[in-house]
Amino acid sequence: MTTTPPSPPLATLDVAAIRRDFPVLSQRQDGHRLVFLDSAASSQHPRQVLDAMTSFYETSYANVHRGVYQLAERATAAYEGARGKVARFIGAPSSNEVVFTKNATEAINLVAGSWGRANLGPGDAVVLTLMEHHANIVPWQMLAAQLGFEIRWVPLTDDGHLDLTDLDRLLDGAKLFAFTAMSNVLGTLNPVARLTAAAHEKGALALVDACQWVPHLPTDVVAMGADFVAFSAHKMLGPSGIGVLWARAELLEAMPPFLGGGGMILNVTTEGFVADAPPGRFEAGTPPIAEAVGLAAAVDYLTGLGMDAVHRHEVELTGYALRTLRAEVGDALTIYGPSEPSERGGVLSIALEGVHAHDISQVLDTQAVCIRPGHHCAKPLMRVLGAPATARASIYVYNDTDDIDALAAALVAARDFFKL
């Protein structure tokens, strides 16, 4: 067996110091150090996020936008302050273009249910790609079944990139091109600005699923050229229960409400209602207030690390992982997606010949290595790969070469256990 020569420690982030900020990573499981490699599903939380939410609940919690007493004013300031921090983090021209949702899935459903229902019908088309998460497939399929528009699909190349050979034809007559910025299965980083420009040249709008992009790379929604961008807090060190839809102001102003109730209106009579201006128009009911505070703290944490440094760290660590896993595990291992680390994010979907992904994950769990088996909410992509499931390891700011070495050793143990 060929072994990989030792590599020097990665220099872009102080991972040892970062780990100390994450209480969950200090625990041991069955005598092993916990190795968390499932951040593409949900990342862990630093103390700074946990403390911000706890402090808010202990000192400043009240409902927002309604009360005039000081506690409510502080809560509203914290909630709207979070909106401002998110806007700056993604390069949004205005915080009024930032809508808080339950998650990115709800954000995409909001676009489908509001903009899509108002603008799509028979004879229209929506273009998707075969690497999409179900959250960017099923809402459009549901709406197409009701309104009668066409869904077209961008295929993939053998090395896990989008096949753009026929993109002009696919976009002819389309009203929307909805695509992921980074595949949650292949790790592929898509040419976002090129794709949005192609959509606009054909008169279509562009929706970017940035769930796997915003946590890992510098984000500028204007430079992206996007019309809609969706992402979730729980993949970027923040809490679950809150996501973000960014959209150009003129689009939000023209879109009808998605949900009805308190908080999204200017007036209600027995004859009807007048909707609030964006973003309030799309935030019916009591919003995720403490979760917004947690998201703001996560933004502060990532800003402190520097998103350029985060990206460089992940490119280096992904390259180390690709080299190490191939050398240590051998020919029984398949790693899906681009082979060049700079063309992908830190997502490694793998297969061991003859072993189901769930069995791999269970064996790795005995070594306290946390990875995710399954179709990763991307069944159309799994059919393209010819795999019912993959075992996915995903890295983030608290991972280093020791974690990759632990992953490699656990995969070797799984290979030997199944006598491959």
Joined tokens for residue 47: 């103390």
Q: What is the pLDDT of residue 255?
A: 98
Q: How confident is the model at residue 1 (pLDDT cuts 50, 70, 90)?
A: very low
> Is the confidence at residue 11, as pLDDT, over 80?
no
Q: What is the pLDDT of residue 12?
A: 78
Q: How confident is the model at residue 4 (pLDDT cuts 50, 70, 90)?
A: very low
Q: Give the mean pLDDT of 224-238.
A: 98
Per the rule left: phi > 0, alpha: psi between -120 and 50, beta: everything else, 269 is beta
Joined tokens for residue 229: 């961008």
Q: Give the mean pLDDT of 391-405.
A: 98
Q: What is the pLDDT of residue 145?
A: 98
- In angstroms and rounded to an integer, the radius of gyration of the C-alpha atoms of the chain is 22
Q: What is the pLDDT of residue 348?
A: 97
Task: Quote the CA–CA distance of 174 and 119 in Å, as a whole number.
Answer: 11
> Is the confidence at residue 229, as pLDDT, over 50?
yes
Q: Give the mean pLDDT of 343-372.
A: 95
**Which domains can be identified in the chain, with CATH numbers?**
15-44+306-417 (3.90.1150.10), 50-304 (3.40.640.10)
- Cβ contacts of residue 32 below 8 Å, gap of 6+? 367, 368
Q: Give catalytic residue positions.
A: 377
Give the other-Cβ count within 10 Å of 337's Cβ.
24
SS3 category, 267: strand
Joined tokens for residue 81: 């302050």
> Is the confidence at residue 350, as pLDDT, over 50?
yes
In 296-320, which positions are buried (b, 16+ CB within 10 angstroms) versus exposed (e)?
A: bbbbbbbeebebeebbebbbbbbeb
Average pLDDT, the chain: 95
Joined tokens for residue 397: 């700011």
Q: What is the pLDDT of residue 385?
A: 95
Q: Which residue has the tokens 């009203």?
A: 175
User: Which of 374, 396, 364, 314 is closest to 185 using CA atoms?
Assistant: 374
Task: Quote the CA–CA distance of 236 and 345 in Å, as a whole number.
Answer: 14
In 177-208, which positions are buried (b, 16+ CB within 10 angstroms) versus exposed (e)?
A: bbbbbbbbbbbbbbebeebbebbeebebbbbb
Task: Quote the CA–CA distance of 130 and 182 in Å, as a whole number.
Answer: 12
- DSSP per-residue letters across 193-252: HHHHHHHHHTT-EEEEE-TTTTTTS---HHHHT-SEEEEEGGGTTS-SS-EEEEE-HHHH
Q: What is the pLDDT of residue 66?
A: 83
HSE at residue 24, side-chain half, CA atoms within 13 A, is 12
Q: How confident is the model at residue 327 (pLDDT cuts 50, 70, 90)?
A: very high
Task: Quote the CA–CA distance of 363 and 415 in Å, as a whole number.
Answer: 10
Q: Are the C-beta atoms of 116 and 141 separated by less than 8 Å?
A: no
> Is the confidence at residue 69, as pLDDT, over 90?
yes
Q: What is the pLDDT of residue 343?
A: 97
Q: Which residue has the tokens 């092993």?
A: 32
